[in-house]
Amino acid sequence: DESQNNFEITLHKKGMENYNDNIFKKIDQLDNKINSVEKQIAGLRYDNRTLLDTLDRVENKLDKLIGNGTVELQGTDNFIGQPLFKTMELEEDLLDFDKKLIEDNKFRSQMKQELTRLLGINVKRSIKRIFEKLFDDKLLCSYSFHGIRTKKSFSSLNICSLIIEAIRMDAMFCHVQIERLKKLFRSTWPKDHLF
């Protein structure tokens, strides 16, 4: 009986050792697979960063071309043959522009289309690009979003609602709430400029 028990214990120990060996092999296999997946994720992150850097460079080059007035839309629907955007430096320019948005529906829809061409990879960047193209910082110094203290109200201008409409026209940004857009307007610009 004792030898039988020793034999069974020995078999049980060998069985447990084999079982443990199998578990360790499985753990090693899983560890190798996890390492492989981590390397693939690192590669994807690098590829993603590279793509975003390339996209930023392309956007910056386009911004420079558009800013220099060297790029124009083809056809008759461009801004009456003018460069895509002319940065507004004076309040008079802004008010004239705003008035034209009210009076000329065709101009308003063309302008909305032009603004959608400036949209970037996220809403905040898009707002920044639009403001950089449309407004000189000195002009914006006299405005705040709601007209706080001695500053004039930017939100009461038609260009404000047009910018919001243009951003929400994009499929990526169509679900962005207006309150979120207002917060992004404020956070995009330094406090001493616009918001």
Domain boundaries, the chain: 1-71, 91-188
According to the model, what pLDDT value does residue 74 have? 46
Give percent of the chain with pLDDT exceeding 70: 77
According to the model, what pLDDT value does residue 151 have? 86
DSSP-assigned states of every residue in 48-97: HHHHHHHHHHHHHHHHHHHHTT----SSTTSSTT--S---B-SHHHHHHH
pTM above 0.85, yes or no: no
Question: Could you give the CA distance from residue 53 to residue 79 in angstroms, rounded to a whole number?
Answer: 31
Beta bridge partners of 152: 143
According to the model, what pLDDT value does residue 52 have? 72
Question: Which residues of the chain fall below pLDDT 70?
Answer: 1-9, 11-12, 53, 64, 66-85, 189-195
